[in-house]
């Protein structure tokens, strides 16, 4: 195939290509790529970020699901490390050979939540990640308790990483234009999650139960694990709704649920 033949954007792969040079420059400046770093880009597409990343002198690996785009990249950059795959199936720690790596990407919006869960669960997490996402997803990732946007995604991100909403990107920066606003987010994994590994399964279960029925009071949504007295022992009002709780509240509840299930 010819590397110069125009590519028809595929909706099923969330293909909205960045075309605004000022936005591209601002993203690259936020990433700050440098010689000697290993950067993995998810979804290079037509190289909006790939070109400047290569020019920075960083060692680049790209993961692209679209066979035609991967073939085009191979023709244009015979020396580039290209993995034609679904990023959801990629073991990034293995792809980086256990060495430090950074992740970047203008992510397809249709898989943004599962991909974030997948990336934050890597056995060797990246040093940091810079992603373009739907703005609404970034607001959920950075939500504080009390925000209506708070939910499972925000708590999981806060547990494993520090998350910073850097700046917004309007639909006009892309071709074709998406219907929604976008935003750039920096995610820096913590050395150790805030929730200890021993209570993480029950923490996850409580969060899932609470936000699975987010319009119910906690007394109702958590009843199979905890009763009103348990909630009060953790300093939580049984009549409250889940978005009013912070990570520390769910952690206190997880400790009580864990002790209960161990019969202590
Ligand atoms: N980086 C380019 C840019 O900024 O213009 C393209 C961004 S476009 C929003 C998303 C890219 O991710 C496309 O190239 C698409 O083919 C690719 N993609 C979609 N789903 C993917 C997946 N599951 N794994 C890897 N790449 C994927």
Q: What is the pLDDT of residues 62-77, one digit of tens each?
A: 999 999 999 999 999 9
Query: Is residue 169 in contact with ligand 1, taking CB distance under 6 Å?
Result: no
Is the CB of residue 146 less than 8 Å from the CB of residue 243? yes
Å from CA of 69 to ligand 1 middle: 9
Query: Is residue 117 in contact with ligand 1, taking CB distance under 6 Å?
Result: no
Q: Write down the pLDDT at residue 263.
A: 78
Ligand 1: nearest atom to the Cα of 17: 5
| Closest among 100, 122, 120 to 39, alpha carbons compared | 100
CA separation for the pair 128, 190 (Å, rounded): 10
From residue 251, give the alpha-carbon distance in Å to each of 86, 202, 256. 33, 9, 9
Is the CB of residue 172 less than 8 Å from the CB of residue 20? yes
Task: Summarize pLDDT for 150-179 with one digit per residue, the tens.
Answer: 999 999 999 999 999 999 999 999 999 999
CA separation for the pair 44, 60 (Å, rounded): 11
CA separation for the pair 44, 178 (Å, rounded): 17
């Amino acid at each position: 195939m010819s590397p110069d033949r125009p590519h028809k954007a595929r909706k099923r792969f969330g293909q909205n290509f960045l075309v605004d040079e000022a936005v591209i420059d601002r993203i690259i400046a936020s990433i700050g790529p440098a010689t000697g770093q290993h950067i993995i880009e998810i979804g290079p597409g037509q190289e909006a970020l790939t070109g400047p990343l290569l020019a920075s002198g960083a060692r680049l690996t790209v993961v692209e699901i679209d066979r035609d785009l991967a073939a085009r990249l191979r023709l244009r950059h015979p020396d580039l490390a290209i993995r034609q795959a679904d990023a959801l199936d990629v073991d990034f720690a293995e792809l980086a050979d256990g060495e430090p790596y950074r992740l970047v990407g203008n992510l397809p919006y249709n898989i943004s939540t599962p991909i974030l869960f997948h990336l934050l669960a890597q056995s060797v997490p990246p040093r940091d990640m810079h992603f373009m996402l739907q703005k609404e997803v970034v607001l959920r990732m950075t939500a504080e308790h009390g925000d209506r946007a708070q939910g499972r995604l925000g708590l999981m991100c806060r547990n494993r990483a520090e998350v910073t909403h850097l700046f917004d990107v309007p639909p006009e920066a892309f071709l074709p234009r998406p219907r929604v606003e976008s935003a750039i987010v920096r995610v820096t994994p913590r050395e150790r999650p805030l929730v200890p590994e021993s209570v993480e399964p029950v923490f996850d279960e409580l969060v899932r139960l609470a936000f699975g029925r987010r319009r119910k009071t906690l007394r109702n949504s958590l009843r199979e694990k905890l009763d009103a007295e348990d909630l009060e022992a953790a300093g939580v009002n049984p009549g409250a709704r889940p978005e009013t709780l912070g990570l520390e509240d769910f952690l206190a509840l997880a400790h009580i649920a864990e002790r209960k299930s161990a019969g202590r």
